[in-house]
């Protein structure tokens, strides 16, 4: 049996599935990842500071203007569209108990139609006034000046994305642990599992079926049922087409 047939069988036989995804799930939608050879952190910064540092809470608070220039340039990608992986998972949710746990902030799973999505690192689609907590959508802040200011109270609006030095949302974390503990199949896709605490979540998995779909080999200390070293979207496209 080839890898795609094995993947299909594992999905068909599973009752509770967790899809745990990272940046590699969205690269085929045109969104840059962070750590790969061509990733954002390996680009020369336009702003004289490493991009990784610019995604920290300290940088946001101390250089809000530069943060937003960078954020608007690199983090908001309006032309990105869901790829075959996002679409397959949206359909899968209609016939399986599926929880998507994503490290991505692009909202592409929801755009594809998925409902049960836990966003560990937040979303560019939600923004909050730091003073009065008023909610703003992405299109709201796109209409505002570089540093978006709350029209109600004059406070600075911050994207609801988890920056370095910030904690993860406890409810999202708890729901992720619950889903992973109940899962009989976990598909780990497009992630190097190098960002904690997100990466540590997979150790709550108690089942025996771990699938990895990632361009590069992922060394896990657990038994892996199936590892496919290929782009995530391409793999789901093959699965959709049954080849």
Catalytic residues: 121
Applying CB under 5 A, the span of 58-66, 129-137, 187-195, 220-228 interacting with Zn ion comes to 129-137
Q: Which CB, 134 or 227, lies closer to Zn ion?
A: 134
Examine residue 155 and tell whether it contacts Zn ion (CB under 5 A): yes
Residue 110 host element (H or E)? helix 108-112
Examine residue 89 and tell whether it contacts Zn ion (CB under 5 A): no
> Least distance in Å: CB of 160 to Zn ion?
14
Applying CB under 5 A, the span of 62-70, 146-154, 194-202, 213-221 interacting with Zn ion comes to 146-154
Tell me the C-alpha to C-alpha distance, in Å, between residue 209 and each of 23, 42, 78, 85: 22, 34, 36, 19
Examine residue 152 and tell whether it contacts Zn ion (CB under 5 A): yes
Residues in the chain: 243
**DSSP 3-state helix, strand, coil percentages of the chain (rounded to 5)?**
35, 20, 45
Q: Which CB, 139 or 223, lies closer to Zn ion?
A: 139
Beta-sheet pairing, 16-21 with 185-189: parallel
Query: For residues 149, 150, 152 and 155, what is the CA-based torsion angle, rounded to 10 degrees?
Result: -80
Which of 25, 55, 150, 198 binds Zn ion (CB under 5 A)? It is 150
Which of 129, 185, 187, 228 binds Zn ion (CB under 5 A)? It is 129
> Least distance in Å: CB of 62 to Zn ion?
21
Phi, then psi, of 130 in degrees rounded to 5: -70, -15
Q: How many CB atoms lie within 10 A of CB 206?
A: 11
> Least distance in Å: CB of 127 to Zn ion?
11
> Least distance in Å: CB of 54 to Zn ion?
24
How many residues at the interface with Zn ion, by CB under 5 A?
8
Which of 53, 69, 111, 134 binds Zn ion (CB under 5 A)? It is 134
Examine residue 43 and tell whether it contacts Zn ion (CB under 5 A): no
> Least distance in Å: CB of 154 to Zn ion?
7
Is the CB of residue 20 less than 8 Å from the CB of residue 209?
no
Select from 174, 225, 219, 228 the least CA-distant residue to 201.
Answer: 174
Examine residue 153 and tell whether it contacts Zn ion (CB under 5 A): yes
Query: For residues 171, 174, 176 and 180, what is the CA-based torsion angle, rounded to 10 degrees?
Result: -170
Binding site for Zn ion (CB under 5 A): 129, 131-132, 134, 150, 152-153, 155
């Amino acid at each position: 049996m080839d890898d795609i047939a094995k993947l299909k069988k594992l999905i068909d036989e599973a009752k509770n599935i967790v899809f745990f995804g990272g940046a590699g799930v969205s690269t085929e939608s045109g969104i840059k990842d962070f750590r790969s050879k061509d990733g954002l952190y390996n680009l020369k910064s336009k702003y004289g500071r490493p991009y990784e540092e610019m995604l920290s809470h300290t940088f946001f608070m101390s250089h809000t203007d530069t943060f937003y220039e960078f954020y608007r340039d690199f983090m908001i990608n309006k032309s990105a569209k869901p790829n075959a992986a996002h679409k397959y998972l949206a359909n899968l949710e209609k016939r399986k108990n599926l929880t998507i746990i994503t490290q991505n902030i692009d909202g592409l799973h929801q755009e594809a139609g998925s409902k049960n999505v836990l966003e560990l690192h937040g979303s560019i689609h939600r923004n909050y006034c730091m003073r009065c907590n008023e909610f703003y959508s992405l299109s709201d802040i796109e209409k505002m000046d570089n540093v978006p200011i709350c029209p109600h109270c004059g406070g600075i609006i911050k994207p609801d994305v988890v920056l370095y030095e910030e904690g993860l949302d406890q409810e999202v974390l708890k729901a992720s642990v619950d889903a992973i503990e109940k899962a009989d199949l976990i598909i780990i896709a497009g992630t190097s599992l190098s960002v904690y605490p997100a990466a540590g979540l997979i150790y709550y998995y108690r089942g025996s079926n771990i699938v990895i779909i990632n361009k590069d080999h992922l060394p896990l200390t657990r038994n892996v049922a199936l590892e496919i070293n290929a782009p995530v979207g391409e793999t789901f496209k093959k699965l959709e087409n049954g080849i």
